[in-house]
Amino acid sequence: MIAPLSVWWFLWFGVGLIGPLLAIPYITLLQAESPSNMVARFTAVAHALQNSAMLVSPMVGAGAFLAHEIGVEGVFIIAGAAFVIIFTLDSTLP
C-alpha cells in the first residue's frame, strides 16, 4: 500500500529542510580545509559526485517502482530530463 500524499509531502518537506543544513557546513568545511589553489577543483568534484548520485538514484532506488508504474523508458526519460536540467543550471551559475 502506498502512503497518502500528505505523508509524502511532509517527508519531502523534511528532506528539503535537512538538505541545506548538511550542504552548507559541508561546502564551508571543504573550502576551509582545502589548499587555496585547489578549492575550485575540490568543489567541482564534490558537486559532480553529488549530481551523479542524484542522477543514478532514481534508477537504483525508485527505478523499480517507477518502471512498474510508467515503464523503463519513462524512468530513463525522467532521469535524462533531470540530467539536462541540472547541467543546464550548473553551466549558467557563476
The DSSP line for 34-82 is: S-TTTHHHHHHHHHHHHHHHHHHHIIIIIHHHHHHHH-HHHHHHHHHHH
When pLDDT is averaged across residues 7-26 and rounded to a whole number, the result is 87
For 37-60, the pLDDT digits (tens) are 989 998 888 888 888 888 787 667
- What is the pTM for the complete model shown? 0.47
pLDDT for the residue numbered 23: 82
**Would you say 92 and 83 are in contact if contact means Cβ atoms under 8 Å apart?**
no
Band (91; pLDDT cuts 50, 70, 90): low
The confidence score (pLDDT) of residue 1 equals 65
**Chain-centre distance for alpha carbon 78:** 13
pLDDT value of position 93: 56
Mean local confidence (pLDDT), 16-20:
87
